[in-house]
Structure 1
């Protein structure tokens, strides 16, 4: 029970990595607040599963790119669960698109959700942790794309590099308050964000061939590393990033 009697707030918690992390954290003893947009069925079924595990849960809808939504998530989640101990910034989008004809609205929306949303959410969560006065842990889901480029991700990769950098700066700003800030960098994970891209059998086979462990990642593969960084096992880890990619990044041949 690595997170016994803790409260964990997570954005993008209705599906994919967020949902898997929320359920895994509940199994480790945490109560869960889920932030989501539009996926009512996934959010409410996740709450039901968490309650079946024996933990408390709440789902709050909103758009992470709206600063008011971040404040409301923290306020309503804290009112329901009593405290905010762990914050996981997970929400993100990646509408694949070529660079030369990238519409401005696609670039702006990706930036607003992935980077601006991370800033607003982390800031709101950190202020709540400071008010509580007992420290906390913040984990952001960055990406291997923070370290490498992608032909159809010229709008996405800068946001994930920014999320990684945000955690480094936040670690410095919040260390005096006992708040640790780290990031995970997933490789290619089978989620809705890349379902269409990986529907191409040849593309999927190529991606699998790049990975030393021989398979694409599953959402559950991220849950363990996130819980580790959120737990007291990582009590002296802050400003760090953890690649969770099956070895893809180091495979240059």
Structure 2
């Protein structure tokens, strides 16, 4: 029970990596708060699964790119669950597009959700943790794309590099309050964000061929690392980044 009686909150928690992490946090003893852009009805299955673990579940529908969503989310968390111990910034989008004709609105939306949304949420969570005075843990879901390029991701990779950098700087800014900040960098994980891209079986197999463990990732592969970084077992880890990519990055040669 790595998160026994702690409050765990995550953005983009209704599906994919966020859902897997939320469920693992509940299994590890945490009450869980989720925000996502989908309706409550769409999020109900994960909320029921959390409650089936004997834990409380809270949901807020909202767009992380709007600063007021962060304020509302922290307000709901403190009202319903009494505080905040572990916060995960996970919400993100990746609308694949070529560079030379990338529409400005696609760039603006990607930066708004992935980078500004992470900033607003992390800042609000950090302020709540400082008010509580008992420290805490913040984890951001960055990407292997923070470290490597992609021809159809020129608008996406800078946001993930920014999230990675945000955790490094936040670790310095918040260490004095006992708040640890770390990032996880997933490789290719089968989620809705890349469903269309991976529908090309030839491309999917080419990706697998670069991965020493011989398979693409699944959302559950991120749940354990996220929970670990939020737990007391990682009590002296801050400003770090953890690649969760099956070994892909070290095999890119």
TM-score range, shorter-chain basis?
over 0.9
What is aligned with 2:110? 110
- What secondary structure is seen at the aligned counterpart in 1 of 2:250? coil
Q: Which runs of 5+ in 2 are unaligned?
A: none
Contact kept in structure 2, 1:21 and 1:223, CA below 8 Å: yes
Q: Following superposition of structure 1 onto structure 2, how do residues 6-155 of structure 1 map, counting pairs within 5 Å?
A: 6-155=6-155
What is aligned with 1:233? 233
For the residues of structure 1 that align with 2:41 and 2:145, how far apart are their CA atoms? 30
For the residues of structure 1 that align with 2:176 and 2:156, how far apart are their CA atoms? 32
For the residues of structure 2 that align with 1:23 and 1:156, how far apart are their CA atoms? 27
What is aligned with 2:206? 206
1:217 aligns with 2:217: yes
For the residues of structure 2 that align with 1:122 and 1:252, how far apart are their CA atoms? 32
- What secondary structure is seen at the aligned counterpart in 2 of 1:38? coil
Aligned CA distance change for structure 1 residues 214 and 39 (closer, same or farther; 3 Å): farther
Aligned length: 253
Q: Offset at 1:39?
A: 4.6
What is aligned with 1:168? 168
For the residues of structure 2 that align with 1:119 and 1:165, how far apart are their CA atoms? 11
Q: Offset at 1:45?
A: 1.1
Q: Which runs of 5+ in 1 are unaligned?
A: none
Deviations 1:7-39 (A, max 9, x none): 001000000000000000000000000001025
TM-score, reference length from structure 2? 0.99
Contact kept in structure 2, 1:14 and 1:39, CA below 8 Å: no
Q: Offset at 1:40?
A: 3.4
For the residues of structure 2 that align with 1:76 and 1:230, how far apart are their CA atoms? 21
TM-score, reference length from structure 1? 0.99
Contact kept in structure 1, 2:36 and 2:63, CA below 8 Å: yes
RMSD between aligned alpha carbons?
0.7
For the residues of structure 2 that align with 1:241 and 1:174, how far apart are their CA atoms? 16
For the residues of structure 2 that align with 1:130 and 1:162, how far apart are their CA atoms? 23
Moved over 6 A (4+): none
For the residues of structure 2 that align with 1:241 and 1:24, how far apart are their CA atoms? 20
Q: Offset at 1:252?
A: 2.6
Q: Offset at 1:42?
A: 3.8
Deviations 1:38-89 (A, max 9, x none): 2534411111110011000011010100111100000111110011000000
For the residues of structure 2 that align with 1:39 and 1:219, how far apart are their CA atoms? 21
For the residues of structure 2 that align with 1:183 and 1:4, how far apart are their CA atoms? 22
Contact kept in structure 1, 2:40 and 2:60, CA below 8 Å: no
